Structure 1
Amino acid sequence: MSLILENIAKHVSLTTKEEELFLSKTSVHHYKAKSILLHAGEVCKYSYFVNSGILRSFNINDNIVEHVLHFACEGWWIGDMYSLLSQKPGNLFIEVLEDAELVLLSKENQEHLYFEIPKLERFFRILTENSLITHQGRLMDNLSLPAEERFEKFCKKYPSLIQNISQKNIASYIGVTPEFFSKIKSRLIRK
């Protein structure tokens, strides 16, 4: 069974025929590291499921500072949810950090699948709810926790990412400069 079908099976059960229909509406693509899948200002047309590799979504503010919003590694989904759902231009970039194999599901095919396999609407609702819970928790952490604690939570929550993502990207994700992040790491190592 493919990884994406295992991901779906965590929340809903599909028949063999439904699995085949689902897979027929997706496409698998390979991307090299540093590929940009989506630029700010574009309409997001796909949800991306990661079979292998690592991606990030980020935006760039007026001072040309990058702010990482999400990472996605094997078995995770990523996209610009605002743009995908509204079909309006978004403000996120999606970049491949490590060579990746991705399953692409277009917005159009996703809507078709909701009609053909109503269980998938429940599946994507669960994903959206889980994403909302995660983002709300992260927002609360960013508002209330010192940077060191945010980094410690990141390490506990995403231990597999620590070795594969640059310090610059981790610093951006927890909301500090790379220089301040180096100081945090030094303090933690001395403890």
Structure 2
Amino acid sequence: MDTDTIFSQLTAHFKEIIPLEETDIEIIIPALEIVHLKKKDFLLQEGQISKHMRFIAKGSLYAYYIDEKGRENTTQLGIENWWVNDLYSYLSGQPSRMFIQANEETTVIQISKENLEILYKEVPAVSDFWRLKMQSAYVTLQERTFEHSRVDAYTKYRNFVSTYRNIEQRFPQFMIASYLGITVEYLSYLRKKHLTDVS
């Protein structure tokens, strides 16, 4: 993907939520940075402070933390046109407690916190965009917290595959299982059950 195509992808994403004039886009583009990652490259590591908002233009990322037993616990999965970040670290300025890693060759557009604050003033619509995105992220977090404690594993799996179509094939089974809070073996069972139910 060439630079113009990558930036056009992000501006099109913005326009799905907010109106943007060509003059707005001319202000936004210089504030953006493109990062290319190879598979398994880290975008963020535990202990670092997240200072950017990150948009996936191509490829996929996953976020996870390592618990006291040394196990990876997947907290986020992301593919093209998704934002992936440690919002706690970004908003609080505290060191991250998670890792964000490329699941495949990935191209990310990032905007530094400093540049984003400037854009809020120069292009007010960008502020509206993030207000709406933050609201959506909070609602999603609340739904996931509720689902985690009150919904059975099969319902979680069905909700996952219906909400995030085509994502399951992009990630290894152990990541999907970790995200859902189940074992790989149980995920395999749920997949077979789901295929039987929908056939």
Q: Determine the structure 1 residue equivalent to 2:93.
A: 87
TM-superposed CA distance for 1:128, in Å, is 0.7
Distance 2:104 2:163 in 1: 20
Alignment of 1:182 onto 2:188: yes
Partner deviation per Cα, 1:107-129 (whole Å, 9 max, x = no partner): 11111111211221111111111
Q: Determine the structure 1 residue equivalent to 2:28.
A: 22
TM-superposed CA distance for 1:86, in Å, is 1.2
Distance 1:115 1:162 in 2: 39
Q: Determine the structure 1 residue equivalent to 2:124.
A: 118
RMSD: 1.4
Partner deviation per Cα, 1:99-156 (whole Å, 9 max, x = no partner): 1111011111111111211221111111111111111111111111111111111110
Alignment of 1:161 onto 2:167: yes
Q: Determine the structure 1 residue equivalent to 2:62.
A: 56
**Hey, which bits of structure 1, 4+ residues long, moved more than 4 A?**
none
Alignment of 1:107 onto 2:77: no
Q: How many residues align?
A: 191
**TM-score, normalised by the number of residues in structure 2:** 0.91
Q: Determine the structure 1 residue equivalent to 2:19.
A: 13
Distance 1:9 1:183 in 2: 41
TM-superposed CA distance for 1:180, in Å, is 2.4
SS of residue paired to 1:77: coil
Instruction: Give the gaps of 5 or more residues in structure 1.
Output: none
**TM-score, normalised by the number of residues in structure 1:** 0.94
Name the structure with the higher strand share: 1
SS of residue paired to 1:79: coil
Distance 1:159 1:183 in 2: 19
Distance 1:76 1:25 in 2: 19
Q: Determine the structure 2 residue equivalent to 1:67.
A: 73
Contact persistence 2:33–2:109 (CA under 8 A): yes
Distance 2:195 2:131 in 1: 41
Once the two structures are aligned, what percentage of the paired residues are identical? Answer: 28
2:182 is aligned with what amino acid? V
